[in-house]
Amino acid sequence: MLQYPEQLILWSDDSLLAVNKPSGMLTLPDGYDRTLPHLRSILEPTFGRLWIVHRLDRETSGIIVLGRSADAHRHLNTQFQEHRASKLYHALVAGQPTWERYTASDPLRQDGDRRHRTVVDPITGKPAITGFRVLRRLEGYSLLEVAPLTGRTHQIRTHLKHIGHPILGDPLYGDPTQPCHALLPRLGLHALSLTLIHPKTEQPTTFEAPYPQDFTDLLEISSR
């Protein structure tokens, strides 16, 4: 458990916490081992009772918001359910896209194979839309801005696998013949920003999470 959990906090007020979640940390309790630390168990001893509004995959780093009251939770939860909260991710992906911008709209079905992965399924899949924009082209991989317009499980990872540019270090959807980069031995996906209506002020508010050090190191060495 973190010695100083407040080091994760980007913003704190009476309504919410904005947290920069490290890669490897659970958002919710593990279904098999309830003793594993997760965001609430780490933060609640310092900040009191918290409500989970949305989640990030364990391997994904970046911005996540937690409610600090039942009313704030309801307000925030409604925004996510109605797709009024907008999220931007940065992803390090294999290869060089032939496009500068691309929108993936392939329907997705959760738990679609023996590895319990989300799969593209044009017949029974649910609508899923993800926008991509190339930010930088590097040697053997690229940095993309990713804007998911829907919130399906593993949506970004599945769409990128389907279009031939899996995220670096992805143990489920990546190329098993491609070794992890030495500087980034985990999923190269970072939730950069989140824009929502603040439950108390009713004003649009954007929270942004800086890159973790491993993400920054890989981009810096690739620019030399």
Residues marked as catalytic:
57
The C-alpha angle with vertex 59 and arms to 112 and 143, in degrees rounded to 5, equals 95
Q: Are 207 and 214 in contact (CB under 8 A)?
A: no
Best CA proximity match to 97, nearest among 137, 156, 127: 137
Q: How far apart are CA 65 and CA 9, in angstroms?
A: 10
Q: What is the rounded end-to-end Cα distance, in angstroms, of the chain?
A: 36
